[in-house]
Amino acid sequence: MIIPTVHLISAAVMTGVIWFTQIVHYPLFARIPSEVSPAHAEENQRRTSYVVGLPMLLEGLTAIALFASPPDGVSRWLPFIGGVLLAIVLLSTIALQVPRHAQLATPMTQGEIDSVVRRLVVSNWVRTIGWSARTVTAAVIITQVA
């Protein structure tokens, strides 16, 4: 029961972080003055890694463990679906969010910053929905184990 529990907790933590990021954190990037935006973006990336590093690691390791050996009573489809959702979230991070964060770390006009932030917020819905669905999937796994 420890692996499904750690899996649910780590997915739920990431879901909370991503909703906060989506609704509060990313939209406020547009309010950062252009002259300090690059330094802010770099510091944001550094500090964010401290918050998300461990939960993402635990989520990934437990997702692999559940896929490799689902607990008795757990449908094999649930860890598979959770893994697909995690892959989508990670691909979105690499392909959509990381490049936009890199853009924000370069000098730009306020109009350019606003445009990048809008694209960051819109593209981040992939991760927000993906992590939310992962938490639901993890919760269903727990109900099947119990």
Whether residue 135 is predicted with pLDDT greater than 90 in this model: the reply is yes
Q: How confident is the model over 46-62, as a mean pLDDT?
A: 96
Whether residue 116 is predicted with pLDDT greater than 90 in this model: the reply is yes
The model's pLDDT over 12-39, given as tens digits with 9 standing for 90+, comes to 999 999 999 999 999 999 999 999 999 9
Q: Of 131, 134, 2, nearest to 78 (Cα)?
A: 134
Check residue 146 and give its pLDDT: 63
- Number of domains into which the chain is organized: 1
Domain that holds residue 7: 2-145
Q: How confident is the model over 81-110, as a mean pLDDT?
A: 96
Whether residue 67 is predicted with pLDDT greater than 70 in this model: the reply is yes
pLDDT tier, 125 (very low <50, low <70, confident <90, very high otherwise): very high
Q: Report the chain's mean pLDDT, rounded to a whole number.
A: 95
Burial 45-66 (b: 16+ CB within 10 A, else e): eeeeeeebeebbebbeebbebb
Q: How confident is the model over 82-98, as a mean pLDDT?
A: 96
